[in-house]
Amino acid sequence: MTRTPHRPCSRTALLLALTAASTSVLAEDPIVMFDGFDGCDPVSASIGPEGGVLRLCGAQLTIPPGAVAAPTTFGIERLATAPEAPFDMEPAGPAFRFTPGALALDPPAIVRIPREDGRRGGLAQDVPWEGGFVLIEACDQSAGGLQQYFGELGTFGAFRFVGPLPDSTEGLGDGTLTAVADGVETRYDVDTPGNNYAIYQDSPDGSRQVLVTAMNDLPDGGFEYLRLDLAVNAATGQGSIIQISLLGPVNGSYILGLLGQASISFGDLSDGRIRADIEANLVSGPQNIPFHAQIDVGVERYIFPPSLSCPEMPPGKR
């Protein structure tokens, strides 16, 4: 689960969106200087309306001017034991508690958390009523740390996904899809170079979230694109359709079909491949488009990088 703290219309736009979603850049981090986690005794300091900075073992708390009306004691404490990580993740360093926790800060404070390396992962906040740490969006990231703005302090940590992950979706998966939309049959090949891939991400309930995308170039310079979002449980041989998206010429025009009514029946899933027949009715504005697809694809694990979400106006610049 990911939290936020605070239609494709052309081939170019679609390609740009897919490319942006499949890449991650780690910038230099001039502020969080990771120097290990030994000897991290708690620190505290009084910070007033003028603002100030507090640091501990690579963790940093920045209180901007005007965030508090009177001198207030702020603190950073390293947790003695490693927290339980979100599903499919492991700690990338210790968690830190920032105090006081029940104080509204406006402008919000800047919280930076150190991490041991830049492997795919993210910033998480301890949310007790949701059972522990929950991934949230970071505002900035580097190999040594993660940053975000918070109007209320709490406990934060850096986590990374278990095991290696590819850097992009390029070349992931294999197999074919045959789709019939409004009587027009189209064959897609996931192995074709470009924005074609078949990937999965495991879920806590034992199922896999599967995403298959495929695109064909057309002789007239146009293109056709199919995306299937599925939930698949190989152990039970069952699953469901989350969404079907179709972009291509139907009745002489381009349409974007979202899921209306649909059903899916699976074949053999024991070898990890996704074999299924899909019957659906795609809805695009006033159009109802009969849709049928057969898929036989091999999927590979991939997790999209977390988003970076920053305030439009940095604290203190209002």
pLDDT of residue 14: 37
When the pLDDT of each residue in the chain is averaged and rounded to a whole number, the result is 84
Angle, CA 193 vertex, CA 191 and CA 196 arms, to 5°: 65
- pLDDT recorded at residue 20: 35
What pLDDT shows up at residue 315? 54
Query: For the chain, what percent of residues have pLDDT higher than 70?
Result: 82
Look at 48-62, 114-128, 238-252 and tell me which has the smallest mean pLDDT. Answer: 238-252
**Residue found by looking up tokens 């109802």 in the block:** 288
Q: What sign results for the dihedral spanned by CA atoms 164, 168, 171, 177? A: positive
Residues 6+ apart with CB under 8 A from 59: 32, 76, 78, 96, 98, 112, 113, 114
Please report which confidence band the pLDDT of residue 253 belongs to, taking 50, 70 and 90 as the band edges. low
pLDDT at 302 over 50: yes
Could you write out the DSSP letters of every residue in 48-67? -TT-EEEEETTEEEEE-TTS
Higher pLDDT, 111 or 290: 111
Residue 37's Cβ-count burial label (10 Å; 0-12, 13-18, 19+) is middle
pLDDT at 279 over 60: yes
Q: In the predicted model, what is the mean pLDDT of residues 295-311?
A: 91
What average pLDDT score do residues 50-71 get?
95
Residue 69 scores a pLDDT above 60: yes
pLDDT at residue 256, as a whole number: 62
| Measured distance CA(258)–CA(176) in Å, rounded | 21
According to DSSP, residue 205 is labeled T
Residue 226 has pLDDT above 50, yes or no: yes
Query: Is 80 exceeded by the pLDDT of residue 10?
Result: no
Question: Is the confidence at residue 45, as pLDDT, over 90?
Answer: yes
Segment 276-305 shows an average pLDDT of: 90
Return the SS3 of 11. helix
Q: Which residue would you say has higher pLDDT here, 131 or 175? A: 175
More confident residue, 31 or 127: 127
pLDDT of residue 252: 54
268 pLDDT band (50/70/90 cuts)?
very high
Output the pTM of the full model: 0.79
Where is pLDDT greater, at 39 or 135?
135
Whether the predicted pLDDT of 134 surpasses 80: yes
Kind and range of the H or E run holding 19: helix 11-21
Mean pLDDT of 38-42: 81
pLDDT at residue 197 is higher than 90: yes
**Mean pLDDT, residues 232-254:** 81
184: confidence class by pLDDT, cuts 50, 70, 90: confident
Q: Write the CB contacts of 240 (distance below 8 Å, at least 6 apart in sequence).
A: 230, 231, 264
Please tell me the predicted confidence (pLDDT) of residue 240. 93
Give the per-residue pLDDT at 254: 57
- Residue 198, pLDDT above cutoff 90: yes
With pLDDT > 90 as the criterion, what percentage of the chain qualifies? 56
